[in-house]
Structure 1
Amino acid sequence: MGESVAGRLFSVLDAFEGGGPPVLRLTDIAARTGLPAPTALRLVRELVAWGGLERGADGGYRLGLRLRVLGAAAPCPRGLLDAALPALRALGARTGGHADLAVLSGPSADAVLCLVGGDRPPPHATAYGKVLLAAPPAELPRHTRHTVVSPGVLAGQLARVRAAGLAVCAEEFRLGEVSVAVPLRGGGGGGTVGALGVTVSTGVPLDRVVAAVRAAAARVRPPEPSP
């Protein structure tokens, strides 16, 4: 008996496992799953319509926001995620990028950056982390030739990010990617409760991306803390 439809759908999602590239072309998905290209295309379209995959402006596919929310492993407060979800969807659609909400777990010395779907990229090499970090982490591993690994340089960046309320991180975590993020403030003008932003391909006009990120963050009303 042939593989079930559900099994084929799962195989498409499994194609994104294993630490490979986060964006796959249809030909990559077909090759990794062993499915005929027409079958892979039909399944990919169904997953895009449901929200399990997102199609970028370059024609590549990556895991979608709905799937990442369902599988969320990050300690993101549920109320904050609910408040930000409409803005995240709009931001992804407006920029063609990968919109995310992030929180920081642990002190700066050994901070763990947690994105909506459970991803945990290095905080020092992403815009999200630079919005949330109070000080450079104890370790600054290099991920690309652009990664800032000097504590002094990073401390200066963090101060400028706090002053501007904006972080732009170009190819520090992965080549070909730029992340842009801004802080989300607690109710009543309180402290930073998270970072909202998007990852786009290098070469996308950043002025428009920055405007889109700021507009998305302005739509989010974080819940009041419990008494």
Structure 2
Amino acid sequence: MLTRGLALLGAFGPARPAMTLSQLARHAGMPLSTAHRLLGELVEWGALERDDTGSYRIGLRLWELGALAPRGQGLRERALPFLEDLSQITRENVQLAVREGTEVVFVERIGGSGAVPVLTRVGGRFALTATGVGLVLLAHAPTEVQEDVLGGRIERFTERTVTDADELRRMLADVRVNGFSISDRQVTMDALSVGAPIQDERGQVVAAVSLVVRHGTASPHTLTPLVRTSARAITRALAEGYRAG
């Protein structure tokens, strides 16, 4: 029963924020009668809400629970002052992300005034192989995760997206040596991203921060010191939080 309930919740996504009973049953692969009964229970509990048209949406109860996730919320609270500083200094897009399996999950994003549009959103997932934060997180992921990602299909977003596994391995090695990543027009043809790692008290990379700017407006090596300084500040803030806890 729990598995079926989760299948209904998992049917929602950025492209499907609201669905009817029949749509949910189809995406979850279950009979209408079963879906109807489970949806009623999920609405009663608050995991889902039903609007005036009869469509279902994610409810506030799930948002409240999600806000308790320590890896996202605790990290966000410690990092936010430094993300805001970086955004104010540059007036560009600033992003904070963690790795979940073989994907990036964005914990926070601050959009600068007049900044280049980006495809990412808070709570959204993205490929590890293309973004600045993704390259950082993949470079410091366990070997089995790297091989799983590089051994599978590598999605292409633009003509500049690196999809060759050997080339990506060289890029990841550079990230580990240099302490930062550069994603040049790999996600959209008008954006460039520089990312840097955030570490926990044991020195393990647990997150990444990035600055996304319009391609051609700034040199990656001009942006790198700003991003790395922010990453080190967040790392120190996390360490202080661990000690205080």
What TM-score comes out, normalization by structure 1 length? 0.62
Aligned residues: 156
CA deviation map 1:111-170 (0-9, x unaligned): 110112112222101111110113251220111000010111111111110111100100
Paired with 1:196 and 1:224, the residues of 2 have a C-alpha distance of 20
1:161 aligns with 2:175: yes
What residue number does 1:5 align with? none
Q: Which runs of 5+ in 1 are unaligned?
A: 1-16, 19-69
Following superposition of structure 1 onto structure 2, how do residues 81-92 of structure 1 map, counting pairs within 5 Å?
81-92=76-87
CA deviation map 1:70-114 (0-9, x unaligned): 9x88x64321111100111111111221101110001xxxx1101
Give the helix-richer structure, 1 or 2. 2
* Selected match of 1:202 from 215, 219, 225: 215
Identity of aligned residues (%): 29
Question: Is the 8 Å Cα contact of residues 95 and 209 (structure 1) preserved in structure 2?
Answer: no
1:94 aligns with 2:107: no
Could you say if the C-alpha distance between residues 170 and 225 of structure 1 is closer, same or farther in structure 2, counting changes exceeding 3 Å?
Answer: farther
What residue number does 1:55 align with? none
What residue number does 2:133 align with? 128
Paired with 2:204 and 2:172, the residues of 1 have a C-alpha distance of 16
SS at match of 1:93: helix
User: Which structure has the greater CA radius of gyration?
Assistant: 2
Question: Is the 8 Å Cα contact of residues 132 and 183 (structure 1) preserved in structure 2?
Answer: yes
* Selected match of 1:173 from 174, 179, 187: 187
Which amino acid counterpart does residue 102 of structure 1 have in structure 2? A
What residue number does 1:150 align with? 164
What residue number does 1:191 align with? 204
What TM-score comes out, normalization by structure 2 length? 0.57
SS at match of 2:230: helix
Q: CA RMSD in A?
A: 2.8
Question: Is the 8 Å Cα contact of residues 168 and 180 (structure 1) preserved in structure 2?
Answer: yes
Runs of 4+ displaced beyond 3 Å: none
Q: How big is the shift at 1:225?
A: 8.9
Q: Which runs of 5+ in 2 are unaligned?
A: 1-13, 16-63, 108-121
